[in-house]
Amino acid sequence: MSGAPAAPLASAAASPGLFDWARSMNGTALTVAALALLAAVSFASLFIGVSDVTPLDLLRWDNSDHQVRVFVESRVPRLAAILLTGSAMSVSGLIMQTLVRNRFVAPSTSGTISSASLGLLVASIWFGSASVFLKMSIAVAFAMAGTLLFLALVQRLRHPDIIVVPLVGIMFGGVIQAITVYFALRHDLLQSLNAWTNGDFSGTLRGRYELLYIVGGLTIVSYLFANRFTLVGMGREFAVNLGVHYERVLYGGLTLVACVSGVVVVVVGSIPFLGLIVPNLVTMVMGENLRQVLPATAISGAFFVLACDILSRDPALPL
């Protein structure tokens, strides 16, 4: 684990006016404003896509109507999957950065997502006819094993610099990814692997996203233990002196991150940038108090993914 304290990214690269305005607002007010903006954009996203669906179509609510079926079977599940995935992955990155005390560590830079992909490949090779829940469990187990191995590597570093730690994680994840590609090539599953490792919400339909409610519950659990995660992020001696069981909270938080990563990889694929970018942007504005920052991080992550999704499927945009 890195001995250096978690240092926020330099704010010089960001817009000073925007950050000054955000810092001037109360944390609760800023969160409420972000939640209201997310609600408005979420409502708008339900009526954006190739098929024309309007609020007037929903007022008739005829189950045989094409617009209503598109809304129920595709638009609502897609929105739910985006919100759950964006919030959970952003919160996972925030928790991992707090526990490891390094702002450049995230599930994508610690081998967690790569390990989950390897677990999904193993489940598909040896348990091809198994249920989705069993495949998800195997992916979670591999993600946890990869995370613990990364933690063991970091703890053995003689000079755990703030830059060296994520570099070790990236190299570790690259090795796991190479092993995954090798076995996928041997079993003629390389095309399926590419589909698994690229986040995609286009195939999200009713009956194919419900496992993501698990990550929604885990996000709520992470908020309940936010204060303990904050104390552990201040170091072993500090946490123990305040009566916190250091190892239990540390490994519990990493298990939570592994569970979220495994479920997301199985259901929608890998979205590597969320856990790294969103927590850093939010903490630059709102500080390091995890209980205060966590709701804003969840809302920001959901908004970020939803905005990207809207830009990708709006037929009016020349993309």
CATH code for the domain in which residue 43 is found: 1.10.3470.10
* Cα gap 281→273, rounded to integer Å: 12
* Cα gap 139→133, rounded to integer Å: 10
What's the total number of domains in the chain?
Answer: 1
198 — alpha (psi -120 to 50), left (phi > 0) or beta? Answer: beta
Specify the pLDDT at position 315. Answer: 58
Q: Tell me how crowded residue 244 is: count the other CB atoms within 10 A of its CB.
A: 19
Specify the pLDDT at position 251. Answer: 92
Q: Is residue 255 situated within a structural domain?
A: yes
Specify the pLDDT at position 20. Answer: 56
In sequence order, the 6+-apart residues with CB closer than 8 A to the CB of 307 are 41
What does the DSSP 8-state code read for residue 278?
A: H
Residue whose structure tokens are 């003689």: 158
- C-alpha 91 chain-centroid distance: 6
3-state secondary structure of 116: helix
- C-alpha 199 chain-centroid distance: 11
Q: Is residue 167 situated within a structural domain?
A: yes
Q: Is residue 5 situated within a structural domain?
A: no
Q: Is residue 319 situated within a structural domain?
A: no
* Cα gap 4→101, rounded to integer Å: 7
Specify the pLDDT at position 4. Answer: 47
Q: Is residue 100 situated within a structural domain?
A: yes
Q: Is residue 247 situated within a structural domain?
A: yes
**Is the distance from CB of 274 to CB of 301 less than 8 angstroms?**
yes
Specify the pLDDT at position 317. Answer: 58
pLDDT tens digits for the chain (319 residues)? 544 444 444 434 444 555 555 555 556 777 788 899 999 999 988 888 777 777 776 777 665 577 788 888 888 999 999 999 999 999 999 999 999 888 899 999 999 999 999 999 999 899 878 788 898 999 999 999 999 999 999 888 877 778 888 899 999 999 999 999 999 999 998 888 887 778 888 878 888 788 899 999 999 999 999 999 999 988 888 889 988 899 999 999 999 999 999 999 988 988 888 899 999 999 888 888 888 899 999 999 999 999 988 888 765 655 5
The range of the structural domain enclosing residue 146 comes to 13-313
Q: Is residue 272 situated within a structural domain?
A: yes
Q: Which residues of 99-126 are buried (b: 16+ CB within 10 A; e: fewer)?
A: bbbbbbbbbbbbbbbbbbbbbbbbbbee
**Is the distance from CB of 176 to CB of 169 less than 8 angstroms?**
no
Q: Is residue 114 situated within a structural domain?
A: yes
What phi and psi, each to the nearest 5 degrees, are found at residue 128? -60, -35
Specify the pLDDT at position 119. Answer: 93
